[in-house]
Amino acid sequence: MKAFVTGANKGIGFAIAKHLGLAGWTILLGARNEQRALKAIQELQDLGISVAGWIEVELSDLQSIQKAIDFVKTAHSDVSLLVNNAGIPGDMSQKSYATSMQHLKETMDVNFFGTYALSQGLVETLASHSGRMVNITVPTEVSPYWHPLAYVASKAAQNTMTSIMAMEFSTDGIPVEVYAVHPGPTTTDLNGNMSLPGFHTADVVGQKVAALLADGTNHHGEFIELYPIVDEGK
């Protein structure tokens, strides 16, 4: 079993890779930075985890994405699980009416267009193993407590991608199980290592995602919320 996890050099992605590896998966890391990727590989190997290597993938760059797709197809065609974890937060302090088009586009390019391009390019590989695609995301209902426009809009597009792919994979007989997982409030560098009541560590979340993947249940088309967003008004 081989899993390709994007954004796997730190945070939730690293924790998912770690706990999948401890459960017996061979891990292929997707990352942007060689130094951080190699450090993550060493940490995983120190735990006895089988690591196939790493792939440089910059989700804002379609050429980089295509190179990653081609490399998976030629050197890692046994990948049966894609975890789309990589993403950028954008400036979460910006008000909707003050969000620049450039900022909105940059966030959409990574969190939606890049994720879509990578997913689209690996459908055939996943299907050849009756594999799975898991998209790490957030709920996109508007909350009065947390609603950064660029980030939420990019994840809304990604959630729509998940739902439509699930429907069309079923109708077209493509044997890929695709679903979305919302980790819930998690302390990572994505939010400045924020830690509030209701927040969990990346390691706790990674362990729970790995357990979900091993639960023997088909979650095709589901949106699974591991932990709810904290209601700061209570």
Q: Which residues contact 70 (CB under 8 A, 6 or more apart)?
A: none
Give me the residue label for tokens 């990352």: 31
Q: Long-range contact list for 184-188, CB < 8 A, 24+ apart?
A: 184/225, 184/226, 184/227, 184/228, 184/229, 185/227, 185/229, 185/230, 186/11, 186/12, 188/10, 188/11, 188/12
Is 232 inside any structural domain? no
Is 193 inside any structural domain? yes
Is 10 inside any structural domain? yes
User: For the chain, how many structural domains are there in total?
Assistant: 1
Paired tokens of 52: 């196939």
Domain that holds residue 179: 2-225
Is 166 inside any structural domain? yes
Residue 187, pLDDT score: 67
Q: What is the rounded distance in angstroms from the CA atom of residue 199 to the CA atom of residue 228?
A: 9
Give the tens place of pLDDT for each residue, 81-96.
Answer: 999 999 998 888 889 9
Is 215 inside any structural domain? yes
The yes-or-no verdict on residue 66 having pLDDT over 90 is yes
* Position 139 confidence tier, pLDDT thresholds 50, 70, 90: confident
Residue 189, pLDDT score: 67
Q: What is the rounded distance in angstroms from the CA atom of residue 37 to the CA atom of residue 30?
A: 8
* Position 229 confidence tier, pLDDT thresholds 50, 70, 90: low
Q: Strand locations in the chain, DSSP E? A: 2-6, 26-31, 51-56, 79-84, 132-136, 177-182, 186-187, 200-201, 223-225
Is 231 inside any structural domain? no
Is 234 inside any structural domain? no
CATH number at 42 reads: 3.40.50.720
Give the tens place of pLDDT for each residue, 197-213.
Answer: 677 888 999 999 999 98
Q: What is the rounded distance in angstroms from the CA atom of residue 56 to the CA atom of residue 65?
A: 9
The yes-or-no verdict on residue 231 having pLDDT over 60 is no
Mean pLDDT of the region 172-184? 95
The yes-or-no verdict on residue 102 having pLDDT over 90 is yes
**Main-chain dihedrals φ then ψ at residue 25, nearest 5 degrees:** -75, 145
The yes-or-no verdict on residue 233 having pLDDT over 70 is no
The DSSP bridge partners found for residue 178 are 133
- Burial pattern 79-105, b for ≥16 Cβ within 10 A else e, equals bbbbbbbbbbbbbeebeeeebeeeebe
Is 33 inside any structural domain? yes
Mean pLDDT of the region 52-66? 97
Mean pLDDT of the region 218-225? 96
Residue 196, pLDDT score: 65
Give the tens place of pLDDT for each residue, 9-45.
Answer: 999 999 999 999 999 999 999 999 999 999 999 999 9
Residue 146, pLDDT score: 74
Paired tokens of 113: 């267009």
Mean pLDDT of the region 48-71? 98
